[in-house]
Structure 1
């Protein structure tokens, strides 16, 4: 069984990923979402991995951790005030990809809804993982910032390879990447999470750290 937490919240997230925004979905779509979450229960295989590193600042837009050097204005803003960084990877497993692929051969509408529901499940799982990491660091006086993935702002997608190599994602959680930076399984994520001694109240979600204000998938934080 999936540990879904707040099922209504998950459903709202799926609706958001489908592009409805705040608009209510019809009964048929609502039922399809419920069925999609049920179908995903039998195939999802959640795994995650994370490691802690000291964060070295060269300047406000240039940071180093491990053997990785990153120049990024948006990442620098996200990590401002941090002394440590968490490298994080998570996946829902290959079974989700296989289910979506099978469904796309018979009913594309079902496949699209499955995609949205799987994205909602992945986001929820990442939030759960981040809370576990936050509790681990809190005892040492550190507090987390929102997770930030390669591809956000000017944080180059090329750094995804470095994150996955450091975490040994292929061996630890079965996550690999193509030469074009596509992850397999596709319902997976890599991210960095800053940690500082200042308890700055902020969301764990990545959207709030993204500068793309006109994105239809963006959460409303007002």
Structure 2
């Protein structure tokens, strides 16, 4: 079995209260936040691993029990080139806020549906960012610095790896994946973080049409990593 850690009582209430101050499209919803917060139920699964092997187009990791996980991706391999440890994670805020949004849409209460959906989208980002900061503090005490987060579907890391990640992290009670490799509940995120003895730049690996880190065939409209072979981003 993988050495998976689970956390189901991770509070992000303070950050959620501040969202209207930092997100323009949520301005004016302050009176709705108390009820929206009751629909947020954070769940976090993660496993820490050591990097065993690195290549130009892959990276192989292993947990404390000797279980191995290999990612075939030049994008991820380059992003974690100076790292010696990694953390693989999956987080979710649950399905209640999406259910609430759909109910409001069904009643013709479109503004309420939109607000619930957008609040949920920002809430799951707040959750993973807050947990990332929590991990940073812990690893800094070991002299390790964090990379940015890498997720399937960006660069040349195939979205189909979502299923492998969820199997490793034993999330079936809280997060699943459909036949299109989309996470359910939709307000969920999987990610990989690298840990290095040296300070890490706060930018993603850069690619070009000739030497890029992506096949240029998928996820173009949603990719903001500039790891592109298609030539559409430089």
TM-score by length of structure 1 reads 0.76
Alpha-carbon distance between aligned partners in 2 of 1:57 and 1:14, rounded to the nearest angstrom: 44
Alpha-carbon distance between aligned partners in 1 of 2:132 and 2:198, rounded to the nearest angstrom: 17
Alpha-carbon distance between aligned partners in 1 of 2:46 and 2:59, rounded to the nearest angstrom: 19
Partner of 1:104: 105
Alpha-carbon distance between aligned partners in 1 of 2:136 and 2:58, rounded to the nearest angstrom: 25
Alpha-carbon distance between aligned partners in 1 of 2:188 and 2:20, rounded to the nearest angstrom: 17
Asked if 1:186 corresponds to 2:186, the answer is yes
Partner of 2:81: 80
Question: What is the aligned counterpart of 2:127 among 125, 128, 132?
Answer: 125
Q: For residues 65-76 of structure 1, what are the structure 2 equivalents within 5 Å?
A: 65-66=61-62, 67-76=68-77
Task: Specify whether residues 35 and 77 from structure 1 end up closer, same or farther in structure 2 by C-alpha distance, changes over 3 A only.
Answer: farther
CA positional deviation for 1:37: 3.3
Asked if 1:5 corresponds to 2:5, the answer is no
Alpha-carbon distance between aligned partners in 2 of 1:12 and 1:203, rounded to the nearest angstrom: 22
Q: Deviations over 1:55-94 (max 9, x none)?
A: 1333122111243222212212221211111001111012
- SS of the residue aligned with 2:53? strand
Q: Is the 8 A contact 1:45 1:92 kept in 2?
A: yes
Q: For residues 211-222 of structure 1, what are the structure 2 equivalents within 5 Å?
A: 211=226
Partner of 1:148: 150
Equivalent residue pairs, number = 195
Alpha-carbon distance between aligned partners in 1 of 2:136 and 2:104, rounded to the nearest angstrom: 37
Q: For residues 8-19 of structure 1, what are the structure 2 equivalents within 5 Å?
A: 8-9=18-19, 11-13=21-23, 15=25
Q: Is the 8 A contact 2:104 2:112 kept in 1?
A: yes
Q: Deviations over 1:179-216 (max 9, x none)?
A: 22122211111111111111225379xx9972279xxx
Task: Specify whether residues 203 and 49 from structure 1 end up closer, same or farther in structure 2 by C-alpha distance, changes over 3 A only.
Answer: farther
Q: Is the 8 A contact 1:4 1:10 kept in 2?
A: no
Q: Is the 8 A contact 1:175 1:183 kept in 2?
A: yes
Higher relative contact order (CA 8 A, sep 6+): 1
Asked if 1:210 corresponds to 2:225, the answer is yes
Partner of 1:20: none
Q: Is the 8 A contact 2:152 2:190 kept in 1?
A: yes
Deviation above 4 Å: which 4+ runs of structure 1? 6-11
Q: Deviations over 1:155-187 (max 9, x none)?
A: 11011111111110124xx11111221222111
| Aligned alpha-carbon RMSD (Å) | 2.8
Question: What is the aligned counterpart of 1:53 among 24, 49, 52?
Answer: 49
CA positional deviation for 1:46: 0.9
CA positional deviation for 1:136: 1.7
Task: Specify whether residues 147 and 209 from structure 1 end up closer, same or farther in structure 2 by C-alpha distance, changes over 3 A only.
Answer: farther
Asked if 1:42 corresponds to 2:57, the answer is no
